[in-house]
Amino acid sequence: MQSLPNRLPRVAAIHDMSGFGRCSLSVILPVLSVMGVQVCPVPTAVLSTHTGGLGEVEFRDLTDYLHPALEHYKRLGLEFDCIYSGFLGSEAQIDHCLEFFSTYPQALSVVDPVMGDHGKPYRTYTPAMRSRMGELARVADLITPNLTEASMLLGQEYPLSPLTRAQAKSLLVRLSELGPHLVVITGVSMATDEIANIGYDRQHNSFWYVPCDYVPVSYPGTGDIYASVLIGSLLTGDSLPMAMDRATRFLEISIKTTFTYATDTRHGVMLEKSLSYLTQRDVLNNYKIL
Ligand code: PXL
């Protein structure tokens, strides 16, 4: 006799908590929760705001919290269906993330290699941290870099001109060769004049393309929201292109809504307005084959 599940999908989210600016755990928690996924935050640092231009940030590193927290979860015999790492506060945290990933080999391992955007590294990301991010990518099932982070992981220049389909596929395949069998790159400017999120599933040798409407602004935290919706979708039964589509549509709605209010972009997207969209579980099909 098959018994009914007695818990929801559960994610350990190893990210920072930024008090203001709508990024990292502040957006990951509501997004995954509203999708019916339990999030256990494992904070890497506490910051007064994100590091994207809001002045001198109060920063408390939590490197020494990570290992004891994991030990406690082991004592409790807690199971996780996904380990999801993102913004890290120090180089040593890479080792702690590796320990989380190796403790839960059955869990979907997701690495958002948060390191930079718009061709530039984030302030707190030292060259040592950037060079070690590849070690995390190696153990991941899924990585979700933006184009800046994809270029950093491959040690190549940020592409200044739009990508052809062949170049986009080559990026995905080379990232997958670092380890992950699922690769999604966000915010790719394509030679077709479209901005798209692109994905690759090595096991099925499938390449996916989800175009998004262009909005002439950029907000912090959108990568965290994208990856969270993607994970929430995958853990609740969507295929990779369906999950990419859901994440893309949700960001489109969030970004367009926020844009109409002409807010300070550093304050992030008005997730509070759009969050309820994620309770809809309609099947989407705006994805294309890359
Ligand atoms: O959204 C990525 C991110 C996460 N955490 C902090 C950040 C950023 C991007 O700027 O500064 C603290």
Q: Is the dihedral of CA 31, 33, 35, 37 positive or negative?
A: positive
List the Cα angle 238/239/244 in 5-degree steps: 90
Question: 132 lies in a domain?
Answer: yes
Name the residue range of residue 246's domain: 10-273+284-289
Domain presence at residue 116? yes
| Element housing 75 (H / E) | helix 63-76
CA distances from 68 to 5, 35, 235 (A): 29, 29, 27
Whether 278 is covered by a domain: the verdict is no
Query: Which pLDDT belongs to residue 1?
Result: 86
**What is the number of structural domains in the chain?**
1
Domain assignment of residue 4, yes or no: no
Q: Is residue 168 part of a domain?
A: yes
Q: What percent of the chain has pLDDT over 90?
A: 94
75 within domain boundaries: yes
CB 24 near ligand 1, within 6 Å: yes
Out of 14, 16, 31, 271, mutate this one to test ligand 1's pocket (max ligand atoms within 8 Å of CB): namely 16
Q: How many CA atoms lie within 13 A of 19 on its CB side?
A: 9
- 164-171 long-range Cβ contacts below 8 angstroms, 24+ apart: 164/190, 164/191, 165/190, 165/191, 165/290, 168/198, 168/209, 168/290, 169/200, 169/207, 169/290
Centroid of ligand 1 to alpha carbon of 128 (angstroms): 18
Site to substitute for ligand 1 among 15, 17, 18, 266, most atoms within 8 A of C-beta: 18
Query: Alpha-carbon distance 45 to 51, whole Å?
Result: 12
CATH at 107:
3.40.1190.20
Return the bridge partners of 84, or none.
13, 110
Mutate to test the pocket of ligand 1, among 47, 59, 84, 87 (most ligand atoms within 8 A of CB): 87
- Give yes or no for a contact between 10 and 32, defined as CB atoms under 8 angstroms apart: no
1 part of a folded domain? no
Q: Is residue 279 in some structural domain?
A: no
Residue 30's region, left for phi above 0, alpha for psi from -120 to 50, else beta, is: alpha
pLDDT by 10s per residue, the chain, length 290: 888 889 999 999 999 999 999 999 999 999 999 999 999 999 999 999 999 999 999 999 999 999 999 999 999 999 999 999 999 989 999 999 999 999 999 999 999 999 999 999 998 889 999 889 999 999 999 999 999 999 999 999 999 999 999 999 999 999 999 999 999 999 999 999 999 999 999 999 999 999 999 899 999 999 999 999 999 999 999 999 999 999 999 999 999 999 999 999 999 999 999 999 999 999 999 999 99
pLDDT in tens, 138-162: 999 999 999 999 999 999 999 999 9
The CA 273 to ligand 1 mean position distance, Å, reads 21
221 CB near ligand 1 (under 6 Å):
yes
Cβ count near 232 (within 10 Å) = 27
Rounded distance from Cα 220 to ligand 1 centre (Å): 7
